[in-house]
Every structure is written in structure tokens, then in C-alpha cells.
Structure 1
Amino acid sequence: MSSDVVIGHDNIKLQIANSIEKGRFSHAHIIAGEEGIGKSLIGKDIAIRLLGKKINKQYVDIIEFKLQKDKKSIGIDDIKNIIEETNKKPYEGDKKVILLYNADKMTEAAQNAFLKTIEEPPKGIFIILLCEKLEKILDTIKSRCQIYKLNRLSEDEMLIFLKNRFPGISKEELKIMNAFSDGIPGRAERFIEDESLKEIRNSTANILKDICQNKIDDVLHNEAFLIKYKGEWQEILTCFLAYIRDILLYKETGKNELVINIDKIDDIKDMAEMFSFNKLSVIINIIKDTRKKLERNVNPVLVFDSMLVKMQEV
């Protein structure tokens, strides 16, 4: 795979390509960004370029370490295995690339154990750490790495990605997927492939309908749905905000073509009649407050319960 087919992040891709071409690519790097933003694609592309290869496939000198499914963190024993691998000579050529996924899941002790290897790996060894939360990486490690922060794609970049990835997609689906993805390509792929996300999208619309119809029992009944998908809280809140955005625009303009969730246009029209601008504004603030609490790892059961109650009381 070439970075040419990785949509967006043009400045970062150019910087990486130039440094590899000129032999100035340093031995340790961190690629940070949200899940689905393209970290693994860029990391794998870097590895292939460093080995001087052209085809995207498995190579014996590209070693990938991932968080085990039954574990929540990467510990010292895992790091010892990685260090052992870095001390082995490349098999085919004179370079080897270590890709460590979920690097922000390393315990502090594991990071400290990895520090010396990151600072001075054996000749020809390159270490690339992929992470979502850069703040969870120790400063001592960050100071020894070149850091690339991947931002969400622009609307135009997302449209290019969606058309390339799903060539048969309709304009209606394109619009919906672009809104749901919120600038993250991986979310758009999950929208097509993951039935749970379709349930999330439908259920968030139903919650808003219950709120505007003052169906208190039905609103609180939805707590079970929110708890079921508590690990997908970002998607849940994104759906809420996308619907509210559509309701606000339709209330103000009455134009169908401005609605992103066009397949829900009848629901959007009904809610536009029943919700006031003030109530929608208050609900937006409730959702923003909910996001802040969940980002601080407050108990999601309590957070979602509070959100539903506050929405109903507006």
C-alpha cells in the first residue's frame, strides 16, 4: 500500500516520505489519533517504505504487537517480549520495524521498562508506537520520539474516502455516512459493516422522539439501551448531535436538502414542530456535559441516567 491511497494527513505523509527518502527517518515515532483515523494504515505504510518494499503484504521484518483481547493493559512481560524481538537481527535485509498498537495501554512500569530500548534501539531497528491518548504516554518516552498527531478529515476528504471505499454508494447514503463518521474513516466503515451502529442510530432517534412527546416511562426505559452500548458512547452522542443539527436546520429553513439524516426526514419534521429552539439548545448543552463526564471516566450508568432525566425535565 502506498500512502497515496491514505486519504488526508497530507503534510504528515509528505514529511515522512521525505525523511525516509533522505535517510533521516529517526528510530522512534509515535502516531496518535482517534480510533479509525488511519494510524495503522500510516504505520504499516511507513514500515513498508522503510524496508524498501512496494506491495502491501506481511513481511517477516515487520513485527506487529497488539493488546491481547483478554487484557486491558500492556505489562512488563509484554514489553520484555518486544525488547527481545528488537534484539534479533533483521531476517531479510538490514532493517526491522516494530509496530506497537494501543501503546497508550502500556502501564507506567512497562513504559519505563521500554524507555532504554526506545532511546537506543539496535542498529536498523525502528519502533513505531500507535496510540489514541497521547497524554497517557510518559513524557520521557515522548521526548525521545518523533510525534505525528492525526486530525479528523475535512468534509471534502471524507467524501473522497467514501466514494473510493464504497463506489456504489447512493447520494443519500453518502450524506448519512459522512455525518455519522464525523471525519473518522473507520467510523464510516463500521456504519456499513456493524449492525450495532445501526441500532444506535435508530435508538437515539427514538429517544429524541420520546422526549419531545413527553413519554417519561419510554425515555427512562432507554437507559438499558444506553448501558448496553456504554462502550460506544462517542457514537451515541454523535448521533444525538447529528439529529439535533438536522432539527435545528429544518426548523429554521424548512429545506429537506439541508438535512443530513435524510432517511429520517419524517421524524425530523415531526420533532422540528414539537421541539423549541430553546429546548434543543439546552439538550445540546446536556449532551456536551455528558461527553465531558464520560471523558473523565465517570460511571457511565450514572452519567446516562442523569442525561435522560435532565433531557426529560427540559
Structure 2
Amino acid sequence: MTFSNDSQLDPGRVGGGGGRGVAVGGGIGGTLLLLVVGLFFGQDGIDALTGGGEDTGGSSSGQEQFAHCETGADANQYSDCRMIATAQSLDQFWEGYLPQAAGERYVLPGLELYQGRDSTACGTASSAVGPFYCPADQTVWLDVAFFDELQTQFGAEGGPLAEEYVLAHEFGHHIQHQIGTLGYAQQDPQGPESGAVRVELQADCFAGLWARGASGDTSGAVDLQEVTPEQLEQALNAASVIGDDRIQATTQGRVNPEAFTHGTSRQRQLWFWAGYRTGDLDQCDTFAARDLDNPPAL
């Protein structure tokens, strides 16, 4: 989606929010991260994350690094500014929606835009890992260079809503952390019907909720214009290229459902669409779904 040019961006949103260094019970931090880290890099991503090494970039916070991110026009031109504006839009949406839908007060997650490699409460993050949510510091970690890789390595069409979908998915993991569903990924980590897959598909559905609810919302500092059919197709395309089946076929030459952790391309599209079409949190209950290929709402 495109931001109205007069939207007011808050560069201080980067580094803001989150429970910095707060450990989550049950070993959820480091172990769960290996399941929800990134969107698609599998074992390579895990190796990169746990490999340690010195930071080559670092997270960027504060007014100076993002001084060029002032308005919606900047968000429409630069990916880092777009992430700031999208985070503000996600905050606006979930602050109003979550108490109403789930009886939970929205807790602001952290957002760190890092470059190359950085240290998190869940271990060392690498740009090879891709965007991820760390429950131990309640922060989304993202290297915006990833969006170029999404197109060049995975063949995504790109576009503003495709990038925004990625951040909305990671914020979805934070919502799961709040409502208590994130831990299912740790309890049941692999397989076509696994808790891990259901966690990821629910986060896709939550991203769809935001896309519907934020579209045309003029109540806050950032104003997302109405989503267009072309932009919606770009988001669905991004969801498709990061399905387990497509990634396995591309990287391994075969598909092994027993190793699924995120869901198929079709499932990721369907559950995003379920959230977008209904705007109803209850329709994102992937854990009650008997058939993940057929969301009840559709």
C-alpha cells in the first residue's frame, strides 16, 4: 500500500518498544527463534544465526540514522522509511483492534533495522537469516537489503505491500506472543500439520487483518491509501514464493512435507487472504482448522 504524502513518520520508532532483554519462560527465546527466525532460509539461516562472529553492521536507532524519513513521500521512496511508516501503521491498527478482538492491551514491540550482522537476545542475527521476531527481547529484526534478495533469489514481484507484508507477518508473531499461541511452534516444530506451520500461517492471517484494517485509515499520523488489486497481488506473490514446498523444490530439488515449518505457498496465500477478506481475528485460528488448505472463512 502507498502512504499519503503528508503522513508524519517517527524515526524514533526504530529501537522503540519491546521488552529489551526480557527472557521468556520455558526456553522460548533461543529455541523458538530457530523455528520462527526469518521467513525461509531453513538450516542455512539457523547456521548463520548461531555462528557467532563479530558484528559487521549493527542495528540503527534514533533520529540521526533515519533523518531522511520524515513524510509518507519518503516512505514511498525508501524501504527503510517504509518500514518505519509500516510499523507505525501496525501500531495504530493493533492498539485499537487487539483489545476489542482479544481483550488484550497491545504492547509495543521493538523494531531494529540492522545491517549485515547484529546481536540480539536470541543470538547473533545475520542478513542471511532474513527478518525475524525474537520473543526474548520482543523485537522484530530486519535488514532492508533482504527485499532485494526476495526478488533476485526467490523471484518475488516486489512492491510496497510485499515489503509491508513481511513486517506485518513478523509483528503477527509479536501478537501471538501476547495472546499465547507462539509457543506451539516449539512444542511441535515440523511437519505439514505441525504447530510450527500453524503458527506461521496464523501470522500470515494476522498480516491480512492489518492490510484490511489499515487500508484507508486516516485516524493516525500515518495514512495508508486504499489497497489496490495490483498491490494485493504483490503481497500474495510474496507469500507464495516463501512457501516450504517452493523453497524446498528450488533449493533441494524435491519436496519433503515432514520438514515443513512455514506452510505451502498455497496455504500462506490462503491464510493471508482469510485475514484480509474477513477482518476477523477468530477466523485466524489455524490451530482449530481441520484442513489448512481450506480456511473455514473461505
Q: Same fold (TM over 0.5)?
A: no
Richer in helix (by share): 1
Shorter chain as denominator, the TM-score bin is: under 0.3
Taking structure 2 as the reference length, what is the TM-score of the superposition?
0.28
> Who wins on radius of gyration, i.e. which is larger?
1
